[in-house]
Amino acid sequence: MTEEEEEEDNNSRSDGALHAVGWRRRKRRLLSPAARVHLSVLRGTHQWYKDLHVYQLEHPTQVIEWTSGRTVCVAGFSPSKNEILELRLPRKLFADENKGLCAERDFKVVHGGFTDRPVRCLRHVPGTRCAVTGDGLSSNLQVWDLGGDDSDVIRRTGSIEGRRRRTGVSEGGSSIAARPSSPPQILHGAQISDVQLTELSSGQTLYQLESDSADPLSSLHFLSDAVFLAGCSNGNIYVADTRTSAAPQLSPPPPPPVSSGESVLWWTDASAGPDPSGCRVVRLSSSGQALVSDLRNLGGAVSRAQLDVQTRRCGPDDVRVSWAPALDDCIAVSGFSGAVQIYDASVWTSELQEARPLFEHRGHAVSPEQSDDGVPPILVTSHVWHPERPRTLLSAASDGSVHVWDWVDQSAADKR
Amino acid sequence: MPEIKVTPLGAGQDVGRSCILVSIGGKNIMLDCGMHMGYNDDRRFPDFSYITQNGRLTDFLDCVIISHFHLDHCGALPYMSEMVGYDGPIYMTHPTKAICPILLEDFRKITVDKKGETNFFTSQMIKDCMKKVIPLNLHQTVQVDDELEIKAYYAGHVLGAAMVHIKVGSESVVYTGDYNMTPDRHLGAAWIDKCRPDILISESTYATTIRDSKRCRERDFLKKVHETIERGGKVLIPVFALGRAQELCILLETFWERMNLKAPIYFSTGLTEKANHYYKLFITWTNQKIRKTFVQRNMFEFKHIKAFDRSYADNPGPMVVFATPGMLHAGQSLQIFKKWAGNEKNMVIMPGYCVQGTIGHKILNGQRKLEMEGRATSVTLCCPLAPIKLQIVLDVKLQVEYMSFSAHADAKGIMQLIRMAEPRNMVLVHGEAVKMEFLKGKIEQEFNCYMPANGETITVTTNPSVPVDISLNLLKREMALGGPLPDPKKPRTMHGTLIMKENSLKLVSSEQALKELGLNEHQLRFTCRVQLQDPHSDPDTLHRIYTHLKSVLKGYTIQHLPDGTVMVESIVIKVSSSAEDTNTKVLLLSWSYQVKYFQCSYLTDGLYRD
């Protein structure tokens, strides 16, 4: 087999055309540049991606947070010195007409700042130029001014003290949720008993969750202005209302059909919508099981599926599961491997069955930065859906790569 | 304090007409001598009057160094050397020396022959200017004079692009020119030694940018070209004659081959053969892959790409044309653009950066109606009294695509180069005046960072180390004094005499210095007068002082000498009476400079304790 044939063969084997790009790069060292023009690039890719942009940050990020329709924040998570960057996505990506006129296809660093802690969690407060970060080590949070038109510097403006812990409980990082509010407020906590609503400017506590549970949080979500959902890493879900001091409603996950005996971690996401009662909640376990529940009956599962993921030992910060904000029934999953998977939850049933992803973005795992041996495999560290564009996602990986991709639903295209 | 000065005459907080003056160790060097393509007034060339107001360029400058052949880095060279007047050495790499005169001549033709400008350099001037050029090899240290040495490093921006390390004594500056930290289809990545220069002068065109990967750009480029060809349209790709053009040729050639496409690809006249010829000639300056496969097949011999003739532009059917210049400001690319602009099936792909004021810049900013300066011949005129120059409005209907293939280092690349070279100070040039406070802050976490404007001088003080020979005797004596052993990492004070003789420095003991220089040692004594009331005679007073001091200064050698003096150690005391009043005695205390001050004060103290 000649080198070129071999390359063609690779491409026909891979499902997504661009997935093959660079994947045999090291072996093709001696190939002429001409041969490096991949057939995949030329023929197939545009059928799988409407857009694909590949970037390389200096340092990997675990957070990707929208700060406007066109800008995102990313930040490093090394033990000391880190940068928080606000990046402007290229206009080319958002123009539907005259894309070619949009000159740049690069990220622009519009604002940047420095922090001496890792950034494990970053939440932008909607409607403001304010962001809150957590370091994953303590329940204390840092408050940042993202800067305006007159400056390109992100400055720290204050901090929020986490609620005092009972002794004997190891501190973990906080989860943060924010919604449009005036003056700006955030909901935060590291475990159920210390969830509170804090006003940013004064640091005043406006609400505290009435519970003495030490369940560690995995995420917080506002379902409406006042009702919020707290997902715990043991699978419990609490729903509470910031307007009342009533005890929260607790829903443990339905027991798994086969108990493996190993402790599993859970991650949660709630679908956003105008009507919180129509909200659906997805819970994903470290063993790859996904449960979709209705807000009215969080104890039961509307549908479930065993996802096609490589299960591995996961940390609580590793996995992301998210509902598509502008697409029905689609769930994105990352953190188990170098891929981001999109699942169509509408085909799941109440019986636990194996589910195949609708689309898989494997670009990070075949990053040109990857080398063959002695290096830990590249893992996706984060992903986020574009709030309005239905199939546009951003994803980041442990090698510092950030991809922006607009995928094509091949199955829908085939049906047509 | 010794210092290095950097003054941009062009490219300070600006892109275009790069020209930077560096004064280092008494030498003056001009780095690049470019023109600004967006202007045709005196902003076109760097402001040489900054130098010439005080004298001739040749007297001031020790050498001129050109980083690469792009006109914004070498376009003012014939103007400077032949019209302003400079006869000193001009350094550039072999490929730059070969290619730069072609581009200069091309630009001259457009400016003088087409635009009809006068007061521009001539073909002869370009030739004369090139005679002053001394070629540089990569990694070869070139001695400009006894003290000034320069060394070129691979910059990867275009064929022959170099970064240059300038060294005088222990002071040094690195100028990057334009550089690229990611290898592409035809060039490798920039590389430099860990040379720890006092100043790194870096371009910062894409300093606040994180670039999309080259693969994605290539994919989009081919997709765009293919789509246009499929619908029967024509694709115009305005290019600099060298650089991106060759890269895109390789890309299209391969694509045509694989897809079995038949539409013709043309490369604009004249320059084609020459340019490709130079790439073949300077194959060592391309990337490793091209060099390795060169034996089997030369990447620059194209099967599908043919020379363009002006008449082809009117041929029916799809075609792809590479034409110069790259910013659509004149010449063939502009002619073709005007012909094809009215058809929406056609496409123009702008593969590089366009400076303000060019047509390229305008259409990239979405301008769909362009006011063109046309000559009367190009339009049919109804009015018999029409002026020679008139404004024509060109309707841009063709698809405009921007594909930035220009190879500059982005934010990450600049930091990579900084880590490679480990400079003590940074100067950023060749970037638009934008808010770069964050980047500056990032760089300043490690060292000083400057962004001077044109004509603004930044000064960096240096600490050049000066080697000094030290005599063995002095070292031995120092050792005998005890104390910690010498440690190369810790500064240490020692006494000796520094002799500067015949360009060398040595440190010796003062005795040896006196001997070597044939000098006598000077004696220095200090004297102080102390008045006191005492009715006794002078010798009696002296004796009283003697006995008194003996009682208070225990442990000191005190002598009463027959010549009428008292000596305490080496301090001499004499007594005399005042002329007016014999009761007022004047004590004269005299000591040599070696006596420590506290001993004297102790003595005077003792005297007063009566």
Instruction: Please identify among residues 321-380 of chain B the ones whose CB lies closer than 8 Å to any CB of chain A.
Output: 347, 364-366
One-letter amino acid identity for B458?
I
B325 with B396, same domain: the answer is yes
Q: Find the CB nearest A107 among B210, B402, B442.
A: B210
Report the chain B residue with the minimal C-alpha distance to residue A153. Answer: B438
Do residues B38 and B361 touch, judged by C-beta distance below 8 A? yes
B252 inside 8 A of chain A by CB: no
pLDDT at A100 over 90: no
**CB contacts, 8 Å: A109 with chain B:** 208-210, 411, 438-439
Nearest to A58 among B186, B219, B415 (CB): B415
Task: Answer whether A100's CB lies under 8 Å from A120's CB.
Answer: no
Q: Is residue B489 in some structural domain?
A: no
- Can you tell me the mean pLDDT for A132-155? 90
Which among B411, B409, B408, B407 is positioned nearest to B441, based on CA atoms?
Answer: B411
Could you tell me if residue B322 is inside a domain? Answer: yes
Taking contacts as CB-CB distances below 8 angstroms, the residues of chain A near B431 are none
* Nearest chain B residue (CA) to A22: B215
Cα(A10)–Cα(A13) distance, integer angstroms: 5
Cβ–Cβ gap B212/A21 under 8 Å: no
| Same-domain status, B305 and B334 | yes
pLDDT at B112: 80
Q: Which of A152, A155, A367, A399 to mutate to test the interface with B (most CBs of B within 10 A)?
A: A152
**Min CA distance, B295 vs chain A (Å)?**
11
Do residues B238 and B162 both lie within one domain? no
Domain-located, residue B474:
yes
For the question of residue B203 being annotated catalytic, the response is: yes
Answer whether B493 touches A (CB < 8 Å).
no
- For tokens 């600004």, name the residue: B36
Min Cα distance B357 → chain A (Å) is: 16
The C-alpha atoms of residue B231 and residue B218 are separated, in whole angstroms, by 20
On whether both B515 and B539 belong to a single domain, the answer is: no
pLDDT digits (tens, 9 = 90+) for A155-167: 999 999 877 554 4
Pick from B212, B364, B442: CB nearest A106? B212
B364: distance to nearest CA of chain A, Å? 6
In a domain, B538, yes or no: yes
Whether A32 sits inside 8 A of B289 (CB atoms) is: yes
In this structure, are B175 and B241 located in the same domain?
no
Of the listed ranges A78-87, A205-214, B27-36, B292-301, the one predicted with least confidence: B292-301
Instruction: Give the pLDDT band of residue A415 (cuts 50, 70, 90).
Output: low
Give B365's contacts in chain A (Cβ within 8 Å).
Answer: 103
Does residue B561 lie in a domain region?
yes
Q: Which of A58-72, A313-327, B328-342, B396-410 has the highest mean pLDDT?
A: A58-72
Cβ–Cβ of B216/A33 closer than 8 Å?
no
CA dihedral B360, B364, B368, B372 (to 10 degrees): -20
On whether both B538 and B602 belong to a single domain, the answer is: yes
Burial B293-332 (b: 16+ CB within 10 A, else e): bbeeeebbebebbeebeeeebeeeebbbbbbbbbbbbbbb
Q: Do A101 and B437 touch (CB under 8 A)?
A: no
Nearest-CA residue of chain A relative to B219?
A: A41
B282 and B177 in a single domain? The answer is no
pLDDT tens by residue, B299-310? 667 788 888 888
Nearest to B258 among A32, A42, A52 (CB): A42
CATH at residue B443: 3.60.15.10
Q: What residues of chain A lie within 8 A of the CB of B211, using their CB?
A: 55, 106-107
CB contact under 8 A, A33 and B259: no
Structure tokens at B4: 């290095």
Chain A interface includes B522 (CB < 8 A): no
In this structure, are B107 and B124 located in the same domain?
A: yes
In this structure, of A115-129, A307-321, B296-310, B403-417, the range with the lowest mean pLDDT score is B296-310
Question: CB distance from B87 to chain A under 8 Å?
Answer: no
* B492 lies in some domain: no
Q: Which residue, among A5, A23, A32, would best test binding to B if mutated, counting the most B CBs under 10 Å from its CB?
A: A32
User: Cβ contact (<8 Å) for B212 and A87?
Assistant: no
Contacts of A154 in chain B (CB under 8 A): 438
Classify burial at A116, counting beta carbons within 10 Å of its beta carbon; exposed 0-12, middle 13-18, buried 19 or more. exposed
Answer yes or no: do B248 and B366 share one domain: yes
How far apart CA A407 and CA A404 sit, in angstroms, is 10
CATH number at residue B224: 3.40.50.10890
Q: Quick one: B136 and B239 in the same domain?
A: no
Task: Quote the number of domains for chain B.
Answer: 4
Looking at CA atoms only, how far is residue B498 from chain A in angstroms?
46
B491 belongs to a structural domain: no
In total, the C-beta contacts within 8 angstroms joining chain A to chain B are 137
Tell me the angle at which helices B94-108 and B271-281 cross, rounded to the nearest 10 degrees: 170
Which amino acid does the sequence have at A194?
D
Mean pLDDT for chain A overall:
82
Mean pLDDT per block of 10 residues along chain B (610 residues) reads 90 84 95 86 88 91 95 93 95 92 83 76 95 94 94 92 94 94 86 94 88 86 92 91 78 89 84 70 77 65 84 92 84 91 93 76 86 54 48 87 81 90 90 73 85 91 84 84 74 84 85 88 83 83 86 82 85 84 84 67 62
Give the mutation candidate from B224, B248, B289, B404 for the A interface (greatest A CB count, under 10 A).
Answer: B289
Task: Render B354-385 in DSSP notation, one character per residue.
Answer: --TTSHHHHHHTT--EEEEEEEGGGS--S-TT
Chain A: residue whose CA lies nearest to B296: A32
The encoded tokens of residue B297 equal 């097949």
Nearest Cα to Cα of residue B153 among B186, B194, B183: B194
B432 and B357 within one domain: no
Chain A's closest residue to B406, CA to CA, is: A104
Q: What is the pLDDT of residue A15?
A: 32
Q: What is the pLDDT of residue B182?
A: 86
Q: What is the pLDDT of residue A370?
A: 47
Q: Are B89 and B64 in contact (CB under 8 A)?
A: yes
Q: Are B278 and B242 in contact (CB under 8 A)?
A: yes
What region, left, alpha or beta, does residue B123 occupy, with left being phi > 0 and alpha being psi -120 to 50 degrees? alpha
DSSP A118-181: --SEEEEETTTTEEEEE-SSSS-EEEEE---TT--B-EEEEEEPPPPPPTT----PPEEEE---
User: B255 lies in which domain range?
Assistant: 214-376+388-402
State whether B431 and B328 are in the same domain: no
- For residue B549, give the CATH number of its domain: 3.30.310.80
Q: What's residue A14's pLDDT?
A: 32
Q: Where are the alpha helices (DSSP H) in B121-270?
A: 123-131, 214-230, 244-259
- Is the confidence at residue A137, as pLDDT, over 70? yes
> For residue B225, what is the nearest residue in chain A, using CA coordinates?
A42
- Nearest Cβ partner for A41 among B218, B289, B441: B218
Phi, psi (degrees; rounded to nearest 5) at A322: -150, 140
Catalytic residue among B203, B218, B247, B401: B203
Whether the per-residue pLDDT at A63 is higher than 90: the answer is yes
Contacts B210 to A, Cβ<8 Å: 55-57, 87, 106-109, 402
Contact A102 B208 (CB under 8 A): no
d(CA A312, CA A148) in angstroms, rounded, equals 42
Q: Look at A32 and B222 and tell me if their CB atoms are within 8 Å.
A: no
- pLDDT band at residue A259, thresholds of 50, 70 and 90? low
Q: Give residue B272's pLDDT.
A: 61
Weakest mean pLDDT among A166-175, A224-233, B201-210? A166-175
d(CA B402, CA A100): 6
- Whether B419 maps to a domain, the answer reads yes
The top-scoring range by mean pLDDT among A6-20, A21-35, B369-383, B414-428 is: B414-428
> Chain A contacts of B257, Cβ < 8 Å?
34
Nearest CA in chain B to A33: B185
Indicate the residue of B216, B254, B366 with minimum beta-carbon distance to A101. B366
Q: How much is the pLDDT for B603?
A: 65
